Structure formats: structure tokens, C-alpha cells
């Protein structure tokens, strides 16, 4: 009997066919749309990336961090400091911001990995507060009021406003696609299998030879680095950074967690859906102050109580569909006809 291991599903092939032209249209956006749309799509792009990263950390590696905003801020501050006080080229600074955040994550992990579960979560939060407070005390980082990007730095990207908007937009899109691709490929690989095993049962997977500490450590540091790069890009577009904005738990963590939880934690499709839900809710309720956050809080609670796997989890249970298949299915070939 012939057997083969299949990765793709019917739905995923259909999805790929639909997704490709959409992606092309998005890439071409600067030529057929305006700055307002570019800004919105860029925002959706980097929120999606942050959500995928948090999902990887919490939904797969079991590291529920409430402190990822630390790396957003660290990446942002690295960019501003290097381009400002150190007069570095903006692209070079961007390239360094990510690895810098990853480097900081190493000693941080030594502290926070001593804690587990919800205590780990609060511990990561404390770390973020430490960075925020430190930033507000360091003069060269602008102390409490923060730093701004000079026009000279912005001109390094492009001499005119339109070109700059387009380039920043395309970079956001590229980062988002790259992060989604990396997460997807990682989860498809045997490392992804290890992660799923760790998520399901850490002692069991350790007894099977999975090096749980090293895996979690690598995921934590890599996620921090990617988050740092995204943070740098976010603040490059915002033009200024301050301790409150850079390390804001509300902007970078609360919203991201809601996206992942409502969309479906532990799935790649989930963050997409959660991000769309968030953006739609926010735009719809824009005139009502922070009521949309209260509503999101209630939805998140309802989802956790009634449908803990989120919207996408519910869809999977109902319709057994996967758009980003990470599993493996054994397909048996039909038996040969035998001669009497």
C-alpha cells in the first residue's frame, strides 16, 4: 500500500488562489489609493504582525506575556536614538532595532522565566514598566517628553512626502507578510510540532526529548526581535516617541491580546479575523470615546467563557477547515486489484 503525507487542504488551496490577487492589489495600493488608506492598511498590517507574534508566544509556546510592549518601545527608542544622537542612516538603524530588542530579551528572560503562568504574565509587565521608567529618566532619550524625528532623517527615506508614505506603507506590508510567513513556516516545521507538543503538555514533551527551555527561550527572543523591528517601524511613521507612547500597554498589548483571543488563539487564521474585528469595531464606534474598548473587553470575556477557541476555533469545529494548514495527514492510496 502506498502512503503519502499531505500538507495542503482543499480549502487552503482555494484560499491561496483568492489571497494572491488581493496581495497584489495591496502592494499596488500607493498607485491607486490615497494616504489615508495607506495609513489604515499599514496599521492593520503591523497589528496583524504583532498579533501573530503574540499568538506564537502565548498560543503555541505557552508564554502568556503581558509585556511585549517593552520590545515595541525598545525598538522605537533604538531607532530614534541611533538616527538622532548617533546620526546613523535610518535603514541601518531599522536593521539594528530588531536585533537590539532581541538582545535585551535575553537577560529579561533570565528573570521572567523564573515565574510561571499568570505570575510570568505580571512579571513581563513589570519588566516593561522598568524600561518605561528608565526611559523617562535618561536625558539622552529625551526623558519624560521623549524624542522626535528630524526632517533630515525623514528625507533619507524619500525626498518627498508621497514617496515617503508609499515606502513606509510597503515596508509595513512587507514586515507583516514576512512575519506571517515565518510563523506559518515555523509551525509547519518539526519545530512547530515541538511547540504544539509543549503547548499540549510540557512534562510529556520534555520526557520525549524536546528541549522545552531552549525552545521557549528561542521563541521568546526571536519574538522580541521581530516585535522590536515592528516597533521601530511604527514610531518611524508616528514621527515621535515618548515613554508613555512607546511602552503603552493599552496600545500594544491590550489590543493585540483582544485580537488573538477573539479571532482564535493557537491558530494562524485567528489573528487575521481578530484584527479585522478590532478595526471594524474601532471605526464604527470612533465617536463614542473608549466605549469600543469596553465592548471589546466584554466580547473577549464572552469568547473566553463560551467559545474559548475564538471565532476561527468555532469555524474549525463546525466546518473542519484550515486555510493555513500546519498539520500532516496520512493519505492511503487505494488498494491494488488482486488477481484471483
Partner 1 sequence: MEWLNILIQGSLLGGIYALFAIGLSMSFGIMRLVNIAHGDFIVLSAYVALVVTQGTGLDPISSLVIVVPVMFVVGYAIQRGLLNHTLSGGLLPPLLVTFGISVIIQNGLLQGFGAYTQRLHEGAIETASVQIFGSISIGVYPLVVFAVAVFAIASLQLLFYRTGLGRAFRAVSDDADTAELMGIDNRKLYALALGIAMIFTAIAGVLFAIRTIFDPATGPIRLILAFEAVIIGGLGNMWGTLVGGVVLGVAQAVGAALSPTWQILAGHIAFLIILIVRPSGLFPRTKDL
Q: Which is nearer to partner 1, 192 or 266 (CB)?
A: 266
CB of 54 to partner 1, least distance (A): 12
Site string for partner 1, 254-293 (x = CB under 8 A): x--x---x---x-----------------------xxx-x
Which residue from 226, 240, 235, 233 is spatially nearest to 169, judged by alpha carbons?
Answer: 233
Phi and psi at residue 88, to the nearest 5°:
-85, 155
3-state secondary structure of 324: coil
18 binds partner 1 (CB under 8 A): no
Residues 6+ apart with CB under 8 A from 287: none
Distance CA 23, CA 174 (A): 11
Q: Which of 46, 125, 252, 312 binds partner 1 (CB under 8 A)?
A: 125
Helix axes 255-263, 35-54, angle to 10 degrees: 70
204 binds partner 1 (CB under 8 A): no
200 binds partner 1 (CB under 8 A): no
Site residues (CB under 8 A) for partner 1, limited to 130-149? 130, 133-134, 136-137
User: DSSP string covering 175-239, please?
Assistant: HHHHHHHHHHHHHHSHHHHHHHHHHH-HHHHHHTT--HHHHHHHHHHHHHHHHHHHHHHHHHHH-
123 binds partner 1 (CB under 8 A): yes
Q: Which of 11, 29, 95, 121 binds partner 1 (CB under 8 A)?
A: 121
Q: Which is nearer to partner 1, 43 or 244 (CB)?
A: 244
196 binds partner 1 (CB under 8 A): no
80 binds partner 1 (CB under 8 A): no
Amino acid at each position: 500500500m502506498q502512503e503519502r503525507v499531505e500538507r495542503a487542504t482543499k480549502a487552503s488551496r482555494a484560499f491561496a488562489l483568492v489571497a494572491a490577487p488581493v496581495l497584489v492589489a495591496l502592494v499596488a495600493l500607493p498607485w491607486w489609493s490615497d494616504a489615508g488608506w495607506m495609513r489604515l492598511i499599514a496599521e492593520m498590517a503591523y497589528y496583524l504582525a504583532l498579533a501573530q507574534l503574540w499568538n506564537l508566544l502565548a498560543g503555541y509556546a505557552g508564554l502568556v506575556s503581558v509585556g511585549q510592549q517593552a520590545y515595541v518601545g525598545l525598538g522605537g527608542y533604538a531607532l530614534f536614538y541611533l538616527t538622532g544622537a548617533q546620526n546613523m542612516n535610518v535603514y541601518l538603524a531599522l536593521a539594528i532595532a530588531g536585533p537590539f530588542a532581541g538582545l535585551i530579551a535575553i537577560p529579561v528572560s533570565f528573570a521572567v522565566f523564573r515565574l510561571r503562568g499568570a505570575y510570568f504574565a505580571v512579571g513581563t509587565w513589570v519588566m516593561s514598566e522598568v524600561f518605561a521608567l528608565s526611559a523617562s529618566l535618561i536625558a539622552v532619550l529625551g526623558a519624560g517628553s521623549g524624542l522626535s524625528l528630524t526632517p533630515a532623517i525623514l528625507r533619507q527615506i524619500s525626498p518627498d512626502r508621497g514617496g515617503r508614505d508609499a515606502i513606509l506603507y510597503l515596508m509595513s506590508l512587507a514586515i507583516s507578510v514576512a512575519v506571517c510567513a515565518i510563523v506559518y513556516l515555523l509551525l509547519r516545521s518539526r519545530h512547530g510540532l515541538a511547540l504544539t507538543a509543549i503547548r499540549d503538555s510540557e512534562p510529556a514533551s520534555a520526557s520525549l526529548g524536546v528541549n522545552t527551555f531552549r525552545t521557549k527561550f528561542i521563541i521568546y527572543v526571536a519574538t522580541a526581535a521581530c516585535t522590536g523591528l515592528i516597533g521601530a517601524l511604527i514610531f518611524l511613521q508616528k514621527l515621535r516617541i515618548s515613554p508613555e507612547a512607546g511602552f503603552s500597554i493599552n496600545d500594544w498589548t491590550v489590543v493585540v491580546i483582544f485580537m488573538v483571543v477573539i479571532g482564535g488563539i493557537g491558530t494562524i487564521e485567528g489573528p487575521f479575523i481578530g484584527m479585522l474585528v478590532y478595526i471594524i469595531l474601532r471605526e464604527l464606534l470612533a465617536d463614542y470615546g473608549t466605549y469600543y474598548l469596553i465592548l471589546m473587553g466584554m466580547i473577549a470575556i464572552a469568547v473566553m467563557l463560551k467559545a474559548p477557541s475564538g471565532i476561527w476555533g468555532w469555524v474549525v469545529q463546525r466546518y473542519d477547515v484550515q486555510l493555513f494548514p500546519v498539520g500532516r495527514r496520512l493519505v492511503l492510496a487505494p488498494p491494488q486489484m488482486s488477481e484471483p
